[in-house]
Amino acid sequence: MSNMSSKLDLSKEFVGRRALVTGGSRGIGAAIAQRLLDAGAKVVVAARSRSDVTPTAATFVSGDVRTSEGVKAIAAETLEALGGLDILVNNAGGSRVFPGGSATIPEEEWQDALALNLLSAIRLTNAVLPALRASKAASVVNISSTAATMPFGPAAHYCAAKAALDAYSRTLAVELAPSGVRVNVVSPGPVATPSADELRRTYPGIPGDAWLQWVPLGRFGATDDIAEVVALLASDRGKWLTGVNYRVDGGMTAR
């Protein structure tokens, strides 16, 4: 029984692992970074700015993942700080919402959504790929969204970018499997964060709590709900998992 208990002790499962979490200064990203830190990882958090919930034990790197130059700088600073990389979490993402529907979304917003939600992950993965190939426990976790499979006109640009991220991730998983680099996706449903709560509160025609009608478990997700699945995929517990997409959404996409 003691041996079984030791196997279930997750408090040290990332000791010796080096991780980079983009968009890690707040919300889901901050929770993911803290979860990795709590289990012993050395973590770099990349974002445009800190917040009051940015994990203090992480190394903070300021940068904009929407640009090639920003990605290159983040990758260089991360590898200098950590001396290598075992875990990459492409979490940075988001977009504005246009209640008038997809035809009202300006082209520059489409470009921005693609840069933030898709190209950032592609560019950063490519930038750190030599370091991941050199790792003996390399894992890439891309944070997508249930919006990729539940299209929503006011955020069509975001939905399309996340759907493309899903396809890219599957392709990358197969391509990198022979080198031992695992690639998986986590697709959160509606999660309680200050920014998401504000969007739901102010969205025209839908009262904030009405969003729960689509969630069978009857509550919004917590950031820790997402972080725990990321930890599973990044750890040795997930060593035979690659190319999967975990929809962490309270049953929303099971309907």
CA angle, corner 183, sides to 70 and 111, nearest 5? 40
- Taking the chain (255 residues) in consecutive chunks of 10 residues, what is each chunk's mean pLDDT? 56 96 96 98 97 96 98 98 98 94 97 98 98 98 96 92 98 98 97 88 77 93 98 98 98 92
Residue 7 located in a structural domain: no
Phi, psi of 184 (to 5 degrees): -135, 170
| Residue 203 a catalytic site member | no
Cα dist. 67→74, 116, 215, 225 in Å?
A: 11, 9, 35, 30
pLDDT at 11: 84
Asked if 241 and 180 touch (Cβ cutoff 8 Å), the reply is: no
Residue 2 located in a structural domain: no
Domain with residue 210: its CATH number is 3.40.50.720
Q: Which of 158, 168, 203, 246 is catalytic?
A: 158
Residue 255 located in a structural domain: no
pTM reported for the whole predicted model: 0.95
CA angle, corner 48, sides to 47 and 54, nearest 5? 50
Residue 4 located in a structural domain: no
In a 13 Å sphere around the CA of 87, the CA atoms on its Cβ side amount to 33
Number of structural domains found in the chain: 1
pLDDT at 8: 64
pLDDT at 2: 43
Residue 1 located in a structural domain: no
DSSP conformation class of 119: I
- Does the CA dihedral 57-62-67-72 come out positive or negative? negative
Helix ranges restricted to H, the chain:
2-7, 27-38, 68-82, 107-114, 120-134, 156-176, 194-202, 223-234
Residue 190 located in a structural domain: yes
Structural domain for 234, as ranges: 14-250
Residue 8 located in a structural domain: no
Residue 137 located in a structural domain: yes
